[in-house]
Structure 1
Amino acid sequence: MRSHTPDATSRPAWTPSAAGKPPLSARLTRAAWRGLPRGRYKVGRERGPAVPAADGSPLITDHYFPRAEGDFPTLLVRSPYGRGLPWSPQYGLLFAEQGFHVVLQSCRGTGGSGGTFDLWRNEAADGHATVSWLREQPWFDGRLGTVGPSYLGYVQWALAHDAPPELKAMVVQVGLHDPHALFHAGGALRLENALAVGVGLTYQHQGMAPFLKATLRLQRRLRDVTTARPLRGAYAAALGGEVPWLDDVMTHPDADDPYWHGASQAQTAQRLRVPTALVTGWYDVLADQTFEQYERLRRTGCETTLLVGPWTHTSALQQGWPQVFAESLAWLRAHLCADPSGLRPTPVRVHVGGEDAWRDLDDWPPAPAAAASWHPAPGGHLVRHAATGSAPLASFVHDPDDPTPSLGGPLLSRTAGRRDNGPLEARDDVLTFTGPPLTEPLDVLGPVVARLTVSTDTGHVHVFTRLCDVDPQGRSVNVCDGLGRLDGNPHEPSRTTVPMGATAHRFAAGHRIRWQLSAGAHPRYATDPGTGASPVDATAFTPVRVTLHTDSALTLMHGAAP
């Protein structure tokens, strides 16, 4: 691919005053935001240039720009969610008033763009076609960056897979690189994710009114959809019809299935040389993917930075937006404008839960850190010493007709985040093991892992495991969690390791560590039928007795207090 970095004398003259103002909705939204830097420039907008996609389909694009003479770098923002709210103020207006051309484009088949949207398959080719179009624009000076959240992060990874020479910086916010992992985890279908993404990709690009109407319809019909037998196709009533790509992702659970070939951009981060800033939250549904991105970038020597806040997938762009925007802007200025003055001194900044404070770190997870295991004991205790041998300890019955509900954690719904787990832990199908009151603060910094020995009477079950912080008043709040699947012989112990994500959390003196276990979190995950059948196609469900054994362990990374 050719490089094109024109100088001021080679580019034809361009008159920005010929374009109009940003939409009124964007200007009103901008005026309502607090905690953001003042704009440096007035902003104009060219509305609706049709950029030819890889196959010639028109990709409808809005161009925001500073109303000023001179050269400014360009940011490419490609979205399947439309070009209106919140994208027009959040990316088009805010970054343009700080001195960037912003190209805000609707992916094919969305927001008026031609062609048919096909989850992930066209983003690399269409991204490169857009860069080819940029090279012909009189205002493009050869300095290109990308920025955006969620699926807008995926299109960045797709472009960077064969990075054009003009690409000098990326900012991936709560971003996706592996679609399979968004829809499946631990051998389970992430049902609530699938439905929420289905609504977002089907309706959000049509405008806020259709999107809100569809979201409310899904909420009203969520129970009927998520308890249907079979599950396949039941979403159609809530989503207003069939969504072919949603059928496909729900019915292809195996990451090695040819259906998913080419979907993951994991390999991109392993050879990338474009400086990349990463943003996530401890309760972001894509946090695990962000940590994977960071690890790969660091391993390959790519310049990178990581910001982890007390956010969910959506709150990072709402309550967390002033900090997310400031970090993103500093990164783009440093690498597109040769202005590193806004960069923080360390590569990693994390919010520490329990302490409600930010920490700057040299790496993630920080070193030194010591892995320490906690073990379940009779009476619901959690202890540091391991039992001798393996013996049945405690059991419960998982009833698919009354599945253990999901409560808080990394969800796409408004119920995401930290929640009082008392109602959940009062259920008969939830086990809890609780440590003694801590005599001094305990910091947990890094990945959390459960190593389980479990037996069942059917041989098939999901196991949901969660770390909680219990305060002196007995209130139990979720910190992190994970789900795994067991397939073994009935009544025979099976061993499995369940990753529970990562955390930076301080358990204060007087607080207690609690380990919570159950057989699912519905509708966050589709209910396991208990028979080994696919949860999407199963019509016959059976209760399962689940027994935890004494040689199970919860492993935490104990960090030193600063």
Structure 2
Amino acid sequence: MAARTHGPATTSTWAPPSGKPPLASRIMRATWRGLPAKRYDVGWEPGLRVPAADGGPLMTDHYFPRAEGDFPTLLVRSPYGRGLPWSPMYGVLFAEQGFHVVLQSCRGTGGSGGGFDLWRNEAADGRATVSWLREQPWFDGSLGTVGPSYLGYVQWALAADPPPELKAMVVQVGLHDPHALFHAHGALNLETALAVGTGMTYQHRGMAAFVKATLRLQRRLGEATTAQPLRGAHVAALGGEVPWLDEVMTHPDAEDVYWNGASLGEVAERHRVPTSLITGWHDALADQTFEQYDRLRRAGCETSVLVGPWTHTSALQQGWPEVFAESLAWLRAHLYGDPSGLRPTRVRVHVGGADVGGADEWRDMEDWPPAAVVGPWFATARKDLTRQAPADRAPLASFRYDPGDPTPSLGGPLLSRTAGSRDNRTLEARDDVLTFTGPPLTEPLDVLGPVSARLSVSTDTGHADVFTRLCDVDPQGRSVNVCDGLGRLRTDGQEASDVTVPMSQTAHRFAVGHRVRWQISGGAHPRFARNPGNGESPVDATAFAPVRITLHAGSALMLAAPADGAGPDTAANG
């Protein structure tokens, strides 16, 4: 693409309004450090009424550079309102870098007409908004999209039938499959569901309403997640009925007709719009980002991925300087024809554990996952981890999981402030948690790529969940979670059954003197709804049955280590 020039432009026929961005947005903008210097002063045109697909109004704010010339447009469609933090983060910051920014409230939110219906209206309303853009005198025909979380979903919805003007996308900690957000291998992502319900219901009403609702959920989280049955128990914690939340919680099967059209994963398989992806190792949507990247690569679409040491929310807080720089470079490259800000490789990942020596290590790679050798670390009856395969499938260890006193969740990929890496020692001291630990390492061990657990397990009721976690144990005994996953078991009495549990992906260095630990339990509550142990639906169960879970020899933690000669292309210590 040729570099853009600023000469006589379509904007010469447009008289920009004189309004400045909201004062609160300007104040927040002034507090950020580590961001590029602004190129332009910013103007603001609030309260535009853009026709939705059904003709109702979609309330929209327009941010723009105060300068002569053509500027590309960024479309940011959100169910979370148009105030803080979206106004400064997207409206102001991108406009001052030379973009028209159209910040719009999705149907039924932020003053827009109609009712919000999770995922069902975004494609049609996105296309209707592009039709409106074509009529604006300042629109020069070059369009990009950007945004996090559900703002990523609306980007994929527009890309399902992409308008010819769409030239670039930046999906930050983004969603493409609502079912996978709420359900994991048959288990309900309970805490995430309640957090999403709170955000979707209150954030578009303003920060005060959202903070009040978040505090109420924190106070009432216990009663909302331990009720028998769970169905309807969230009403008090969320301050009222949220009909769509009850529906998503009570439809666990991805093949249910309820979910028809919800997943947009296949869009990436035919995608041609250059797309940048950003996530964090403890992002609740990290697995969806890796799916998107894999599909885009197989489709031959130009893409890149940045993975930082972030949770879903910290990527937009502590990680914002890196996230904004990555997003801006991609948009400038594909909407301005200026690739100077792009990095030389399509993958950049932060390596956890590599900062033991005081350095913050990022690695640039040609692809993800890198070439690797996946090897098993076998559990033993002595609670060790060994590379030597067992000779039989004898029982190794067992524990009793009681849904009436469920194993608690601790850290990991959540939407709440409790997400991320945590010291697991208190959790691992419980009787319902097994740990298997390797010897102190005499040389660093890099784990790069997907992690999984290959389990041989039996139960006494036939119904159980198994939560499995990789931890890094330092010389002082502190055990920190790296990645994890949960699987739902259906076993045949005391007979051992084999099951593989995906545990997401990681880039982590286990330093010299550290040990690899494999943690196994029967759940992680309230992150996941409790398995009743009796075959009943976790949402409708009114009775529980404790279950004894037995691990058998042959069970192994599967770790991907770099193949010979497949080290990082570059390593940058920040």
User: In structure 1, what is the Cα distance between the partners aligned to 2:500 and 2:397?
Assistant: 19
Deviation at 1:492, TM superposition (A): 1.8
Taking the TM superposition and a 5 Å limit, the aligned residue runs for 1:407-556 are 407-556=410-559
Q: Which runs of 4+ in 1 moved over 2 A?
A: 7-12
User: In structure 2, what is the Cα distance between the partners aligned to 1:358 and 1:203?
Assistant: 36
Deviation at 1:489, TM superposition (A): 1.9
Cα displacement string for residues 22-81 of structure 1 (whole angstroms, at most 9, x for unaligned residues): 000100000000100111000000001000000001000000000000000000000000
Cα displacement string for residues 124-160 of structure 1 (whole angstroms, at most 9, x for unaligned residues): 0000000000000000000000000000000000000
Partner residue, 2:14: 14
Partner residue, 1:181: 180
**Is the 1:440–1:508 Cα contact (8 Å) retained in structure 2?**
yes
Deviation at 1:19, TM superposition (A): 3.3
Partner residue, 2:100: 101
Deviation at 1:186, TM superposition (A): 1.6
Partner residue, 1:287: 286
User: In structure 1, what is the Cα distance between the partners aligned to 2:490 and 2:325?
Assistant: 47
Partner residue, 1:56: 55
Which residue of 367, 370, 374 maps to 1:366?
Answer: 370
Deviation at 1:379, TM superposition (A): 1.4
Deviation at 1:494, TM superposition (A): 1.5
Partner residue, 1:36: 35
Deviation at 1:488, TM superposition (A): 2.2
User: In structure 1, what is the Cα distance between the partners aligned to 2:87 and 2:229?
Assistant: 40
User: In structure 2, what is the Cα distance between the partners aligned to 1:11 and 1:45?
Assistant: 15
**Is the 2:179–2:263 Cα contact (8 Å) retained in structure 1?**
yes
Cα displacement string for residues 414-451 of structure 1 (whole angstroms, at most 9, x for unaligned residues): 11100000000000000000001111001000000111
User: In structure 2, what is the Cα distance between the partners aligned to 1:459 and 1:8?
Assistant: 73
Taking the TM superposition and a 5 Å limit, the aligned residue runs for 1:85-234 are 85-234=84-233
| SS class of match (2:270) | coil
User: In structure 2, what is the Cα distance between the partners aligned to 1:371 and 1:218?
Assistant: 41
Partner residue, 1:392: 395
Deviation at 1:10, TM superposition (A): 6.7
Partner residue, 1:4: none
User: In structure 2, what is the Cα distance between the partners aligned to 1:385 and 1:25?
Assistant: 61
User: In structure 2, what is the Cα distance between the partners aligned to 1:561 and 1:326?
Assistant: 26
TM-score by length of 1: 0.98
User: In structure 2, what is the Cα distance between the partners aligned to 1:9 and 1:485?
Assistant: 59
Structure 1: tracts of 5 or more residues without a match: 1-6
Deviation at 1:15, TM superposition (A): 1.3
Deviation at 1:11, TM superposition (A): 7.1
Structure 2 letter corresponding to 1:305: S
**Is the 1:282–1:312 Cα contact (8 Å) retained in structure 2?**
yes
User: In structure 1, what is the Cα distance between the partners aligned to 2:456 and 2:338?
Assistant: 54
**Structure 1, 92-101 or 483-492: larger mean CA deviation:** 483-492
**Is the 1:487–1:532 Cα contact (8 Å) retained in structure 2?**
no
Structure 2: tracts of 5 or more residues without a match: 1-6, 356-360, 569-574
User: In structure 2, what is the Cα distance between the partners aligned to 1:11 and 1:195?
Assistant: 45
Aligned residues: 554
| SS class of match (1:48) | strand
* Change in CA separation of 1:145 and 1:230 when aligned onto 2, cut-off 3 Å: same
| SS class of match (1:335) | helix
Partner residue, 2:3: none
User: In structure 1, what is the Cα distance between the partners aligned to 2:542 and 2:245?
Assistant: 20
User: In structure 2, what is the Cα distance between the partners aligned to 1:36 and 1:49?
Assistant: 29
Cα displacement string for residues 157-208 of structure 1 (whole angstroms, at most 9, x for unaligned residues): 0000000000000000000000000000021000001000000000000000
**Is the 2:9–2:68 Cα contact (8 Å) retained in structure 1?**
no
The answer on 1:80 being equivalent to 2:79 is yes
**Is the 1:527–1:535 Cα contact (8 Å) retained in structure 2?**
yes
User: In structure 1, what is the Cα distance between the partners aligned to 2:135 and 2:82?
Assistant: 22
TM-score by length of 2: 0.96
The answer on 1:404 being equivalent to 2:407 is yes
Structure 2 letter corresponding to 1:511: H
Structure 2 letter corresponding to 1:24: L
Cα displacement string for residues 304-327 of structure 1 (whole angstroms, at most 9, x for unaligned residues): 000000000000000000000000
**Is the 2:12–2:68 Cα contact (8 Å) retained in structure 1?**
no
Structure 2 letter corresponding to 1:441: P
Alpha carbon RMSD of aligned pairs, Å?
1.0
User: In structure 2, what is the Cα distance between the partners aligned to 1:237 and 1:424?
Assistant: 29
Structure 2 letter corresponding to 1:373: P
Cα displacement string for residues 462-517 of structure 1 (whole angstroms, at most 9, x for unaligned residues): 00000000011111000000000001222221211100000000000111000000
Partner residue, 1:244: 243
Partner residue, 2:358: none
Partner residue, 1:3: none
**Is the 1:443–1:561 Cα contact (8 Å) retained in structure 2?**
no
Structure 2 letter corresponding to 1:362: E
